[in-house]
Amino acid sequence: MILTVFGLHTAGANELSDSADTRSRIVAFGDSLTAGLGVNRDDAYPAQLQRRLDELDYRYRVINAGVSGETTAGGLRRTPWVLGSKPDVVILELGGNDGLRGLSLEQTTHNLSRIIEQLRQANTTVILAGMKLPPNYGQDYIRGFEAIYPNLAKHYNLALIPFFLEGVAALPALNQADGIHPTKEGYRIVVEQVLNVLGPVLRARARKSQATHGGS
C-alpha cells in the first residue's frame, strides 16, 4: 500500500519499507492537508519538507502518509501500518475533518490520545499539529476543538505546531479554489512553520544520540 495525494494507491509498501534507504524516518501522518490534495505530489508539504531538510543537511527521509478525508478514527486504524515504517519522528496532523463534520470533541480527543500513545510506545517522537475551524461552527465548539491540541501536547509533553496553517489559512493567494487546501506556495509557508518546531526536535535527537554513543 502506498499513499498518494488522492488517497491510497496500489503500488505500495515500498515507500514505507525501502530497506535500501538507511536514513532515519519522519512520517507525515495526516489527512488531505498532508497528502497534498490538489497539488502535484512534489509540491505537497512532505516533499517540500524533504527538500528543505536536504538543504539543511538533516539526514532524514520524509514519508507522506496522508490520506484525503481521513478522520482521527481512520488515523487510529492506520497507526499500526504507519508504525510498520519504524518512524523516528511522526508529524501528526489529524482532526480537521472531525471538526468540519462536527464530530464529538471527546471522541476526537480519545482517538488522538490513542494514536499518540501507540506511537510513543514504539519509541517514536511525536510532533502534534494544531488545527482551527471556520467561525460558523459556534464558539463553544470552536473553543473546545482548538483546545484539544495544546491540552494533548501538555498532557503528553509533545512539541506542538500551534496552528498547522498559520500564515496560510483564509488567504486566497495561498489557497486553492476550495479555500481549504494550500497551493504550492502555501505549502512552502507550511513547511517553514513545521521547521520552526521540527528543527529543535531534530537537534535535540542529535545531541541525545551523540551523548548515548559518546560521539563528538
* Active-site residue flag, 216: no
Cα separation, 96 vs 67, in Å, equals 12
CB atoms within 10 A of CB 121: 9
Within-domain flag for 30: yes
Count of structural domains, the chain: 1
Within-domain flag for 64: yes
Within-domain flag for 172: no
Domain that holds residue 85: 2-162
Instruction: Point out the catalytic residue in the list 32, 43, 85, 98.
Output: 32
Q: Which CATH number does the domain housing residue 34 bear?
A: 3.40.50.1110
* Active-site residue flag, 32: yes
Within-domain flag for 214: no
Within-domain flag for 191: no
Instruction: Point out the catalytic residue in the list 19, 178, 213, 216.
Output: 178
Cell of 111: 482517538
Cα separation, 189 vs 125, in Å, equals 23
Within-domain flag for 68: yes
Cell of 8: 491510497
Within-domain flag for 198: no
* Active-site residue flag, 113: no
- Model pLDDT for residues 129-143, shown as the tens digit of each residue: 999 999 999 999 999
Cα separation, 12 vs 1, in Å, equals 3
DSSP letter at 103 equals -
- Model pLDDT for residues 19-78, shown as the tens digit of each residue: 688 899 999 999 999 999 999 999 999 999 999 999 999 999 999 999 999 999 999 999
Q: Taking the model in full, what pTM does it have? A: 0.90
Within-domain flag for 124: yes
Tell me the CB-side half-sphere exposure of residue 64, using CA atoms within 13 A.
30
Cα separation, 115 vs 91, in Å, equals 12
